[in-house]
Amino acid sequence: YGDAMLWCWIATNRKNVTHLLRWTTFYGPIWVAILTATGIMIVVFHAVRRSENKAKRWSFPSTLDESSTENTAAQFERKNTSNQRPVAVQATFFLLAFLITWSPSSLVRLIEMIGYQPSFVLKLCMAIILPCQGALNFLVYNRPKWLFYRRQNPQQPILNAIASFWVILVRGRSITNTRQSITETRPTLEQQNGPYPTLDLKSLPGVDLVALETQCQQVAKNENK
């Protein structure tokens, strides 16, 4: 094995062979994986957006009288939350962890391949950032849990919140309890603020239930086609 500045690599008498092996067996597959992950994240985002756009067609009947259902529509609108932005942000952080980790080292090897000497600052960035891949993945993976924990404990000081959240991560049982508490949030809110508003179509004036059912069946047929 020969010297590779920070680590070792296959030693050959021809530098072009060394660079070719380095890019075909190491950096090349890494960037293929990064591009593949990028494509997967784009597909996931479009799938979420397509599902939510379909769901919006069923969120509120369009045949209801507007004047008699204004308050109910406003209540439904306030409860309507979109997953498009959280999915996009989480996917972006996931890809940034890859790019931040592998961009400096790839740039160093690319500069070496074309016959130049990388700067000391670039080598230092490579030496510091590359071993941090696991830490970046850890932060990105636990980011949704941290956001949920902060929503449940908004008044807790940040340092205490970090310490408590770390304990939750260390104890697997506590993490499970945290996930289970998501389903317990709604009953708690109902106890504090009263039951969630419901829409009784029969009590609303100007609603033709037969026509509404026919319209829903027609929409379902169009979706199946």
User: What pLDDT does 56 receive?
Assistant: 74
Give the chain's residues under pLDDT 70: 1, 58-81, 172-212, 219-220, 222-225
Quickly tell me which residue has 């104890």 as its tokens: 171
User: What pLDDT does 82 receive?
Assistant: 73
Look up residue 24 and give its DSSP letter: I
Type of residue at 144: P
Tell me the C-alpha distance between 186 and 202, whole Å.
Answer: 26
Tell me the C-alpha distance between 68 and 64, whole Å.
Answer: 8
In sequence order, which residues have a C-beta less than 8 Å from that of residue 11 and are 6 or more positions away? 1, 2, 18
- Rounded to 5°, angle at Cα 199 from 194 and 200: 115
Tell me the C-alpha distance between 182 and 188, whole Å.
Answer: 10
pTM for the predicted model, two decimal places: 0.62
Q: Which two tokens stand for residue 125?
A: 């960035």
User: What pLDDT does 186 receive?
Assistant: 44
In sequence order, which residues have a C-beta less than 8 Å from that of residue 63 and are 6 or more positions away? 207, 208, 211, 212, 215
SS3 content of the chain, % helix, strand, coil (to 5): 75, 5, 20
Do residues 177 and 148 touch, judged by C-beta distance below 8 A? no
